[in-house]
A and B are shown apart, each in its own frame.
Chain A
Amino acid sequence: MFILECSNITKNYGACKALDSVNLQLEKGKIVGLLGPNGSGKTTLLKLANGLLSPTSGSISIAGGSPGVHSKKIVAYLPERTYLNEWMKVKDIVAFFADFYANFSREKAIDMLQALGLPQNAKLSSLSKGNKEKVQLILVMAREAELYLLDEPIGGVDPAARDYIINTIIRNYSASATILLSTHLIQDVERIFDSVVFLNKGKIALQGPVDDIREEKGCSIDELFREVFKC
């Protein structure tokens, strides 16, 4: 059984086709890059997988079932923007998540907060934009989920924190979990991918294991992206 399966998914926003007959199957235990230029449908795909949007046509399944109450237990989602309450303290948000999700590891969260030097007694509103993003990513990665859907997890953080986050992903990797990660910063993360999916104007332009692509094309994923999506 695939952890995530999209069958002929189309999503229209009015006259705009955000996704056009997308077929995608993700296996367990893989780290997959979801790559594409702005407006290619990456966020729409992740929202569909979380049940935040419904497809115009086609179907999507998470571990065999449709997105919903059951899938929220096994999916950890990092949305494109923050939804946390600004007035809450970091430690209160950690407690809130620990209450909310049975698979949340408070210990992991606190370890990561300390490693990145984030003050637990600070109110979220007092943190910088980058630090807020780090807190939010920590809350997601501290869950022992089966599927992590990360929408631009490293976009707003500094390069040192980026390295730490990438290492955290490698360290927390387990053969039973799958990570689908969208990003523009391909160069920084392409080494941790098993495979990549290129989205272009709502369609899958290319997909496959990264080392096979490097072998076949003789270039990095970053370079291939620049070539395929040359403006």
Chain B
Amino acid sequence: MQWKLDNNAPLYLQIADKVKLGIVSGEYAPGKRIDSVRDLAEQTGVNPNTMQRALSRLEDEGLLSTNRTNGKYVTEDTELINQIKDELAKKYVENFLASMKQMGFSGNIILALVQHEVGKGENANVYTGM
């Protein structure tokens, strides 16, 4: 996992977001044990208290659980993971739309632009000439 953090915003929130992304993307598989707080703190270069705070946040959301003796595990509740994945996707789309609208693009143009870009990635031939 890449730990590029921005000192201008709370670190624990950024770390929580990154771990969450790791869980919904499958990098941290359901039921998998994650590294200890100390190891993760060292990998990230943050204080263990900050790492603990980030992980506690994900525990509150149900994405992680603590096994008293063995550390923290990713939830096996794939329904919850999918639900959070949907929420994240929605949030990204909303942010994207807000920026596009700020630039003055209307819904139809935005859709066309997105379709064009998606097409370029998946099947360039179909959309050439657009």
Binding site for B on A (CB under 8 A): 29-31, 163, 166-167, 170-171, 173, 187, 190-194, 210-212, 214-215, 218-223
A29 touches B49 (CB 8 A): yes
B49 touches A218 (CB 8 A): no
Provide 21 A-B residue pairs closer than 8 Å at the C-beta atoms, listed in order of the A residue: A29-B49, A163-B45, A170-B38, A170-B41, A170-B45, A170-B47, A191-B7, A191-B44, A191-B45, A191-B46, A191-B47, A210-B11, A211-B10, A211-B12, A211-B13, A214-B11, A215-B10, A218-B8, A220-B7, A220-B8, A221-B7
CA distance A166 to B44 in the complex (A): 11
CB distance from B3 to the nearest CB of A (A): 10
CA distance A173 to B9 in the complex (A): 24
B7 touches A170 (CB 8 A): no
CA distance A27 to B49 in the complex (A): 13
The 10 closest A-B pairs by CB, nearest first: A220-B7, A211-B10, A215-B10, A214-B10, A192-B47, A220-B8, A191-B46, A219-B8, A170-B42, A194-B49
Binding site for A on B (CB under 8 A): 5, 7-13, 38, 41-42, 44-50, 53
B42 touches A167 (CB 8 A): yes
CA distance A30 to B41 in the complex (A): 14
CB distance from B45 to the nearest CB of A (A): 5
Partner of B9, one of A191, A194, A214: A214
Partner of B7, one of A166, A215, A222: A222
Residues of chain B with a CB closer than 8 A to A30's CB: 49
Residues of chain A with a CB closer than 8 A to B48's CB: 170, 173
CB distance from A166 to the nearest CB of B (A): 7
Residues of chain B with a CB closer than 8 A to A221's CB: 7
Main secondary structure of the interface of A (DSSP, over half): helix
CA distance A187 to B7 in the complex (A): 8
Partner of A194, one of B13, B38, B44, B47: B47
Residues of chain A with a CB closer than 8 A to B9's CB: 214-215, 218
CB distance from A226 to the nearest CB of B (A): 13
CB distance from A194 to the nearest CB of B (A): 5
Which residue in chain B gives the minimum CB-CB distance to A217?
A: B8
A167 touches B47 (CB 8 A): no
Which residue in chain B gives the minimum CB-CB distance to A173?
A: B48
A167 touches B49 (CB 8 A): no
A192 touches B45 (CB 8 A): yes
CA distance A193 to B47 in the complex (A): 6
CB distance from A143 to the nearest CB of B (A): 19
CA distance A220 to B10 in the complex (A): 9
Residues of chain A with a CB closer than 8 A to B50's CB: 191, 194, 211
CB distance from A129 to the nearest CB of B (A): 26
CB distance from B128 to the nearest CB of A (A): 44
B41 touches A190 (CB 8 A): no
Partner of A171, one of B7, B10, B38, B49: B38
CB distance from B6 to the nearest CB of A (A): 8
With contacts A194-B50, A211-B12, A211-B50 taken as known, whether A167 is within 8 angstroms of B7 at the C-beta atoms is no
